[in-house]
């Protein structure tokens, strides 16, 4: 996605830069570039399994304590 900005008659450089940055921000080019640079890696299957097992273990421990009246 490319775009072109041309200087209008009687427009100073700051106005031109302001219009350019606004158009760049509205186009979403910067956001997509930043997302590709700072890409979030997902967790591996092994880590996901360990997390799931830990949740099951903690839930069982909580239920046990709840039945005993300690929670």
**Do 20 and 54 sit in the same domain of this protein?**
no
Structure confidence by residue, pLDDT tens digits, 6-62 = 898 999 999 999 999 999 888 888 888 888 887 788 899 999 999 999 999 999 999
**Do 22 and 54 sit in the same domain of this protein?**
no
**Structure pTM?**
0.47
pLDDT confidence bin for 1, thresholds 50/70/90: low
Supply the DSSP string of 2-45, one letter for each residue. Answer: -----PPTT--HHHHHHHHHHHHHHHTHHHHHHHHHTPPPPPPH
**Do 30 and 48 sit in the same domain of this protein?**
no
**Do 36 and 55 sit in the same domain of this protein?**
no
To 5 degrees, how large is the angle CA 3–CA 17–CA 34?
A: 60
């Amino acid at each position: 996605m490319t775009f072109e900005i041309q200087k209008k008659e009687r427009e100073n450089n700051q106005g031109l830069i302001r219009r350019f940055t606004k158009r760049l921000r509205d186009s979403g080019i910067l956001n997509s570039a930043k997302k590709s640079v700072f890409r979030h890696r997902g967790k591996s299957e092994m880590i996901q399994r360990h997390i799931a097992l830990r949740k099951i273990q903690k839930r069982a421990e909580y239920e046990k304590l709840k039945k005993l009246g300690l929670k």
